[in-house]
Amino acid sequence: MRQTIVRNVSELPTYGFGPRSGPWWGAMGFMALEGMGFAVAIGAYLYLYAVNSSWPIGAPPPDLWPGTTATVLYLLSIIPNEYTNRVAHRQDLAKTRICLIGMALIGIALLVLRGFEFAHLNTRWDNSAYGSIVWLVLGLHSVHLATDVGDTVVLAVLMFTRHAKPRRFSDVTDNVFYWNFVVLAWLPLYVLLDWMPRL
């Protein structure tokens, strides 16, 4: 078939930020399906809550301090996270490196805190359906958290190598975007796990 050139796109950039980049949309897709996973797990929790006359089953509610401390840390982490976003958009390599290290450390601290959360659930996974569902919900979010921390660590290392090309800053902003989702996903889970058994 004959072709007629009607436009030249050679002046377009080779990478974009946010909705202009493909990986951002990929992250959106994975956030949607992971968010759906959390929604279904919440649904399962509420279903078990509804069919049981007492809740929690055979256990006191989780101790509040680990989840609450984590929640505060999650919310505070938005500040350095957004700063990371800003320096990445400015393509400031030195500050981006520092911010990524900072965010990786925050993530690792939250993973350690997650260990305390499990220890203070006051129930084992095999005690009752209550124990099973709280371990499942917390486990799902832990996988979610661990993968994001892993991604942040790898990206931080990458930015110290010769591969720290301009388009990597777009990857950094996607990582920022994803972290916000990790925080957002945690908030309803915190209410569900730590406050629902106290209602």
Give, as ranges, the residues between 37 and 66 that touch another protein (CB under 8 A). 37, 39-41, 44, 47-48, 51-52, 57
| Sole window of 63-71, 87-95, 97-105, 124-132 interacting with another protein (rule: CB under 8 A) | 124-132
Residue choice 135, 169, 178, 179 for contact with another protein (CB under 8 A): 135
The length of the chain in residues reads 199
State yes or no: cis peptide before 197, omega within 30 of 0.
no
Distance separating alpha carbons of residues 102 and 17, to the nearest angstrom: 22
The smaller minimum CB distance to another protein, of residues 52 and 68, is found at 52
Residue from 71, 77, 96, 128 touching another protein (CB under 8 A): that is 128
30 near another protein, rule: CB under 8 A: yes
Backbone torsion region of residue 44, taken as left when φ is above 0, otherwise alpha when ψ lies between -120 and 50, otherwise beta: alpha
Rounded distance, CA 104 to CA 114, Å?
15
Residue with smaller CB distance to another protein, 24 or 71: 24
- b/e sequence 45-72, b meaning 16+ C-beta within 10 Å: beebbeeeeebbbebebbeeebbeebbe
Distance CA 192, CA 187 (A): 9
User: What distances in angstroms separate CA 69 from CA 6, 72, 75, 113, 152, one per listed residue?
Assistant: 59, 5, 10, 8, 22
Report 4-23 residues binding another protein (CB under 8 A): 4-16, 19-22
Min dist. Cβ of residue 69 to another protein (A): 26
Which of 3, 79, 94, 199 forms a contact with another protein (CB under 8 A)?
A: 3
Is the CB of 54 or the CB of 94 nearer to another protein?
A: 54
The contact set with another protein (CB under 8 A) reads 1-16, 19-22, 25-26, 29-30, 32-34, 36-37, 39-41, 44, 47-48, 51-52, 57, 125-133, 135-136, 150, 154, 158, 162-163, 165, 167
